[in-house]
Structure 1
Amino acid sequence: MQNVPNQELPASHKYKILTLTSLGHIMELYDFILYGVMLSFLAKAFLPDHNPNFSMFLASLSFAITFLITPIGSIFWGWYGDKFGRISMLNISMILMAIPSISIALLPTYKTIGILAPIILIFLRIMQGISASGEIIGAKIFAMEAIGDASHGLSSGIITAAGAIGILLAMYMGYLTSTSSLEYFWRIPFILGSVLFIFATMIRKNLSAQMKIHHDKLPNKEENQSISAIIDITKNNPHASLIVFVLGAMLGILSYTLHVFINPFLIKLGFDAAVVFKHSLIGYSATIVGAILAGIYVDKYCNINELFLRSLKGIVLAVTLLFLPLFLLILLGSYCSIIGFFVLDFLLGSYATISAIMMYKAFPKDVRCRGVLMNYAFGCGVFGGITPLILGILGDINIYLPAFAVTICFFVIYFVLKWSLRKC
């Protein structure tokens, strides 16, 4: 771990670290979310095409299966991050994200190699899932530790916004693919991902140079550093673990509903693919705005812990109450769709910023990576990963069922969170 106290780092170094971390996060999130954005195109290329609906179901299933692996990856990354340092963890996870991206770009289709195509595709996605279990929340932990307690909101907000930019770029690639007449245009976004990896490598190398990385690991030398110690960490912090778990679950459900499920769902309902991607792109820009404004708000007004907890519960309640009407607004199409996307994505950015700060605060520094990464991965990975699959099945039964199902989940999460915060 980087045992350099925040006060030893000049302000210019802190913000350079934040900038470099953000740039690397943009590229990592682009690679990760691209698979979900391109799911309908991947289904056509790598799965049997005799039944388009069945192919889409299999593609969603592959998306869900890979997320069930992420908790295993998070156990490793949590141990690695606490033992060897946050930057080293982020560097290795980035490599595991980039290799599958170029491999998918070059992978022969189902028509060429048959059943091997989906098998290899799922294996590559599993690698990306393992990588993401270290990067997505790990980058925020690193940034908040580097910048210091006085600017948690700024750190979390900027990293969240950076991830949103990466996702926005991936969604734009989906839009370009939907409007292209080239049969294999879908490969170009994955090739771009491998090119971004080269830049990300240089950025992370520069980032390492900004920090004095010590290898005396943790302040407490007697602490058990084995991977199995993560079980004890969870047992010793049951309410903190539950808080991180439910916050991760809500983030996964909301994020993958908006990023992965809703666009193919609208296209299947008969909406024009290019229009759907265009509306979601316009809306998703609000994630960046929501993330930054939430960060500024937390730093300026939530210097008392009680005020911060009220803000956390407030944003969770807002998402819970507004999801159903906004989802129904999207189904109306036209400008209503843009408004629905915009408000939901604004809430997503705000929630992602504030919830990450709560996860950061939930565990002490010497066990933070292990405590946060595992519980977050179980919540976000399991619930978020199966969201597109479950909502797709419900949507085939009735187009309104997905909205009601998500809303019910959010109400459960809200009350569990309130209970956990009282116990913590």
Structure 2
Amino acid sequence: MNRFSKRHVFFASASTIVEWYDFMLFAYLTPVIASVFFPDFSKYTAILMTFGVFAAGFFMGPIGSVIMGSFGDRFGRKKALIISVVMMILPMFVIAILPTYQTIGMLAPAILVLMRLLQGFSIGGSYGGVMVFMIESTKPDRRGFIASFATMSSGTGVFLASLVAMILFGIFSQEVLDLWGWRIGYIIGLMLALLALLMRMLIPESYSFEQLEAQGDVSVKPVREMFSIQKKPLFFAIALSAYANIMYYLVLSYLSSYFVELNYSEFFSLAIVTIFSLIFSFSAPLWGYLSDCLGRKPLIKFSIIIYLIFSYPSFMIMGMGIASLILAMIVLSVPLMAIWGAYGAAAPELFNTKYRYSGNGLSYNIGNSFLGGTIPFVATSLVVSTGSLLAPAWLLVVASIIMIPIVYFMPETRYVDV
């Protein structure tokens, strides 16, 4: 059963790093993209429009997960993952050579939006599939550990994108960046994407899908059957994804701007969040291993309890100095690591093999795009409307309260046969 060698773990993880690098590079190059593709607008409006283009990619995720999930459940995980990389290569190439607004006018941002939608479609059809591929290709007692490499690799890809952007901003003048320097990031991404394609071509098909295919039990309409037969697993998986992504975006995205409101410098605020993001990514295998030893639900329950008890006190001490802020970040980051350590295996394990790619991909993208991704906006709105800097803490508390009955009724999947 276990044909998933260390080389295959590396190939699957490395290719996911590349996908998230390609997807997130756009965000880190926002100032340059805004000036190059929206030069006729004010700086603020151009940046806002660029963020709108960036957000468009997220909303294509659920569509990509449905279409590619259905393909992966019908024709194999490996084929679906290969196609998703190919669909990432095309927009990387087009963006790298895309003429600017000054050359072809409004056609330039129109093509940019189209390519961003294709990137969102690709990542939507891939990330959940990688988790499925990993748990279906390893021993039952190592599924949490192996699946956690998907979490680690996505975080690494985001960090790599920020690093490349930082280097480009550091070595080029604004004039050179606007002229051609920004394209280097996409050229690097294109070369990495070609390497990722090779890696995915070298990995085997998952054991579970091969068994399903050998038995002649592959579903012809997996998405439709999933909605009909697997309503409860889909609900539990969406809830897990929503909870995990709400915590992620609040702790490792929103807080960087929140710290500025507490009168910390922008550099310090970004540095703290970046450091904890790296810790989050590279600690994922440890928490995945713990989920194999203790079960998925104990880690989820641990996260809920910590957030219920310590969210409000953590926000109270953040403005009391650097030591207090770091302590608060530790308290909020540990349960975040725990929930993601469990999520990588728990969500795909909820589904029958026949519908696993579709179910896991769709549930992840609904939680990520429509719930988790909106949290920075919701948290900011709460602060403005209430006038209290402690208001975001209640998001953590309320989300944790909602999760209590859900986790109570959710089955433990540690020992299920996939």
Q: TM class by shorter-chain length?
A: 0.7 to 0.9
Relative distance call for 1:195 and 1:325 in structure 2 (3 A) is: farther
1:91 maps to 2:82:
yes
1:380 maps to 2:368:
yes
- Alignment-mate amino acid for residue 183 of structure 2: R
- Alignment-mate amino acid for residue 61 of structure 1: G
| 1:218 counterpart residue number | 213
Displacement after TM superposition at 1:112 (Å): 4.8
Relative distance call for 1:412 and 1:97 in structure 2 (3 A) is: farther
What is the rounded CA distance, in whole Å, between the counterparts of 1:317 and 1:110 in structure 2?
A: 51
List per-residue Cα deviations over 1:266-291 (Å, max 9, x = no partner): 67998655444433322212113431
| 1:418 counterpart residue number | 407
Structure 2 gaps of 5+ residues are 414-418
What is the rounded CA distance, in whole Å, between the counterparts of 1:19 and 1:416 in structure 2?
A: 37
Relative distance call for 1:68 and 1:294 in structure 2 (3 A) is: same
Displacement after TM superposition at 1:171 (Å): 2.4
SS in 2 for 1:225: coil
What is the rounded CA distance, in whole Å, between the counterparts of 2:108 and 2:133 in structure 1?
A: 37
1:292 maps to 2:285:
yes
Over aligned residue pairs, what C-alpha RMSD do you find? Answer: 3.6
Contact persistence 1:25–1:163 (CA under 8 A): yes
Q: How many residues are aligned here?
A: 407
Displacement after TM superposition at 1:367 (Å): 1.8
1:121 maps to 2:116:
no
Relative distance call for 1:411 and 1:215 in structure 2 (3 A) is: closer
| 2:200 counterpart residue number | 204
Using the size of structure 2 for normalisation, the TM-score is 0.82
Displacement after TM superposition at 1:215 (Å): 7.5
What is the rounded CA distance, in whole Å, between the counterparts of 2:262 and 2:109 in structure 1?
A: 26
| 1:305 counterpart residue number | none
List per-residue Cα deviations over 1:70-92 (Å, max 9, x = no partner): 21111111111111111111111
Contact persistence 1:313–1:414 (CA under 8 A): no
Report 1:237-316 matches (<5 A): 237-257=230-250, 261-263=254-256, 274-302=267-295, 308-316=296-304
| 1:3 counterpart residue number | none
Displacement after TM superposition at 1:408 (Å): 5.6
SS in 1 for 2:213: coil
1:407 maps to 2:410:
no
What is the rounded CA distance, in whole Å, between the counterparts of 1:262 and 1:49 in structure 2?
A: 32
- Alignment-mate amino acid for residue 400 of structure 2: F
Which deviates more, 279-288 or 141-150? 279-288
Which deviates more, 284-293 or 45-54? 45-54
What is the rounded CA distance, in whole Å, between the counterparts of 1:42 and 1:265 in structure 2?
A: 25
- Alignment-mate amino acid for residue 247 of structure 1: L
| 2:58 counterpart residue number | 67
Using the size of structure 1 for normalisation, the TM-score is 0.81
Displacement after TM superposition at 1:117 (Å): 3.6
What is the rounded CA distance, in whole Å, between the counterparts of 1:271 and 1:102 in structure 2?
A: 39
1:234 maps to 2:227:
yes
Relative distance call for 1:283 and 1:212 in structure 2 (3 A) is: closer
Structure 1 gaps of 5+ residues are 1-5, 303-307
Report 1:33-182 matches (<5 A): 33-47=24-38, 50-177=41-168, 179-182=170-173
SS in 2 for 1:31: helix
Contact persistence 2:315–2:393 (CA under 8 A): no
List per-residue Cα deviations over 1:285-314 (Å, max 9, x = no partner): 211343122122122333xxxxx3232222
List per-residue Cα deviations over 1:140-168 (Å, max 9, x = no partner): 11111111211012112233222222222
Relative distance call for 1:95 and 1:341 in structure 2 (3 A) is: farther
Contact persistence 1:320–1:407 (CA under 8 A): yes
What is the aligned counterpart of 1:353 among 341, 361, 370?
A: 341
- Alignment-mate amino acid for residue 78 of structure 1: G
List per-residue Cα deviations over 1:240-278 (Å, max 9, x = no partner): 111111112223333344565555676799865544443
